[in-house]
Amino acid sequence: MTFVNFMSGGTGRAVRIVVGLAMIAIGLVLGGGWLALSIVGLVPLAAGALGLCLLAPLFHLPLRATGSPGA
């Protein structure tokens, strides 16, 4: 549960954005079948940008952290 709390916080949000951008960049650079990685990379990028933690509901926590901007 500590991992989910971390990912719901500001640092976890930044990590999701960076990972999403990295996945998109790698998929675009490698091309071909790797373009699917770019599409999948949109999920953590959007979740981080919107302040959502997609794992939280699995642990009966709110989808959006209470301290997230726009909450």
Q: Residue-wise pLDDT tens for the chain (71 aa)?
A: 788 888 888 899 999 999 999 999 999 999 999 999 999 999 999 999 999 989 889 988 888 876 545 44
Predicted pLDDT of residue 21: 97
The answer to whether position 9 is within a domain reads yes
Q: 64 pairs with which residues across the strands? A: 52
51: alpha, beta or left, given left = phi > 0 and alpha = psi -120 to 50? left
Q: How many domains does the chain have?
A: 1
Q: Which domain holds residue 21?
A: 2-59
Predicted pLDDT of residue 3: 87
CB 36 within 8 A of CB 26: no
Calpha distance 44→63 (Å, rounded): 14
The answer to whether position 64 is within a domain reads no
The answer to whether position 31 is within a domain reads yes
The answer to whether position 65 is within a domain reads no
pTM exceeding the 0.95 threshold for the entire prediction: no
The answer to whether position 70 is within a domain reads no
Predicted pLDDT of residue 67: 58
